[in-house]
Amino acid sequence: MHGFAVTVNDTDALEPIKQRLGVPMGKGSCHTAEVGRYVVEGHVPAQDIKRLIARNDDSRGLVLPGMPAGSPGMEMPDGSVQRYTVERIDAQGATHAFATHGE
């Protein structure tokens, strides 16, 4: 998938995983991934993940709370994309705007 090797682990016990990976409170979503040393939470576009990896800084990962229409996996039949912002988790656990998508 977009150049990433994927292993799926279905579980209903996501909260301990989100806590271990440092997903900030209130920023959780329906999917949690580990990509190298980063956490990726929600329907984050692959190009944002690749950009974070290329930065190679002390970021903890990326989050996209909710399930915005038009984000990866939430594509709309008419191709529309709800405006949404992917946030970067810094080394201290605070979030900052990283990329904005949509109209």
Report angle CA 94, 10, 6 to the nearest 5 degrees. Answer: 75
pLDDT digits (tens, 9 = 90+) for 11-45: 888 889 999 999 999 998 888 999 999 999 989 99
Q: Is pLDDT at 3 greater than 80 in this prediction?
A: no
Q: What is the pTM of this model?
A: 0.86
Does residue 77 belong to any structural domain of this protein? yes
Does residue 39 belong to any structural domain of this protein? yes
Cβ-based burial of 79 (10 A; exposed 0-12, middle 13-18, buried ≥19): exposed
Does residue 4 belong to any structural domain of this protein? no
Contact status, residue 89 vs residue 59, Cβ threshold 8 Å? yes
Count structural domains, the chain.
1
19 vs 40: CA distance, rounded Å? 13
Contact status, residue 28 vs residue 50, Cβ threshold 8 Å? no
Does residue 88 belong to any structural domain of this protein? yes
Q: Domain of residue 26: give its range.
A: 14-101
